[in-house]
Amino acid sequence: MRELKWLRSAVGVNMPGLIYGTAWKKERTADLVVKAIQAGFRGIDTACQPKHYDEPLVGEALHKLEEHGIERETLFIQTKFTPLSGQDPRQVPYDKDATIESQVNQSFEASLRNLQTQYVDSLVLHSPVAPRALLMKLWGAMESIQKTGAARQLGISNCYDTKVMRQLYADANVKPAVVQNRFYKKTGYDADLRNWCSNHGVIYQSFWTLSANPHILADKALRTIARKYNKTEAQIFFRHLNQSGIVVLTGTCSEQHMREDLGIFDFELSADDLKNVSLLLNRA
């Protein structure tokens, strides 16, 4: 395997081109995170959202990894603040009656405790909130955290409206460095948003990349390209996205698939093959 490719965000944070996602892993979270990092991953995505993530078990994994000589400083750790609408009412990790600023701070303090770390590399807003005034209050609380150095960069997830992204970017003092979205046909694969991000130095992260695209993986053209490189269809798709500047999140529970995912750095697609995979997205 070639060395894992790293990108540098607009605020100078190094981010691996492939990140391991920890949603829905439940009691298997710690074991799978350890396996992913030992396989070669260096980026972990989580959230302070007990409904879908077991963030304390990510912290347990990080502690185990340190015992095996993999230091926290060598990893990219990304967590999220999840607004009340995205939380299970029975497991809200902050005071649901507090101000939005206090909710952000309480959630972030919980994340630091959960992860057993003094800082995260990336703090992401799990989804936009409305109205705009509320969004900016929330973002202002995240900016205050970033300015202390406890979160090295900020981002937003599940933001599919380019207008919302443009407005946030214009109004923010600390600009979003990443946007993390579901990568699927319904939104046209965020073509307009990704173009805007590219022009403004915002790194696009994709999730649900394989699950939402079985039609792409089954396409005859993609299978032909996979045979040409002696790679799987998933590896071709991931490599195409990576060479297009997209950071891919993968949450596989299979150690074989972990190795295959990391194997995308063993080869490069030709310009023609990049174009051919792009055409699949354009006509999907």
What letter does residue 45 receive in the DSSP assignment? Answer: E
Report yes or no on 112 lying in a domain.
yes
Report yes or no on 185 lying in a domain.
yes
> What is the tens place of the pLDDT at every residue in 240-270?
999 999 999 999 999 999 999 999 999 999 9
Contact 157, 122 (CB under 8 A): no
Query: Hey, which residues does 18 pair with through a beta bridge?
Result: 248
Q: Residue 93 corresponds to which amino acid? A: P
Q: Residue 66 corresponds to which amino acid? A: E
Report yes or no on 111 lying in a domain.
yes
Contact 18, 264 (CB under 8 A): yes
Q: Residue 41 corresponds to which amino acid? A: F
pTM of the complete model beyond 0.85: yes
Report yes or no on 187 lying in a domain.
yes
CATH number at residue 207: 3.20.20.100
Structural domain including 166 reads: 6-213+247-253
Contact 22, 46 (CB under 8 A): yes
Counted domains in the chain:
1
Report yes or no on 60 lying in a domain.
yes
Residue carrying structure tokens 């090295």: 152
Nearest one of 162, 167, 159, 245 to 196, comparing CA atoms: 162
> What is the tens place of the pLDDT at every residue in 31-68?
999 999 999 999 999 999 999 999 999 999 999 999 99
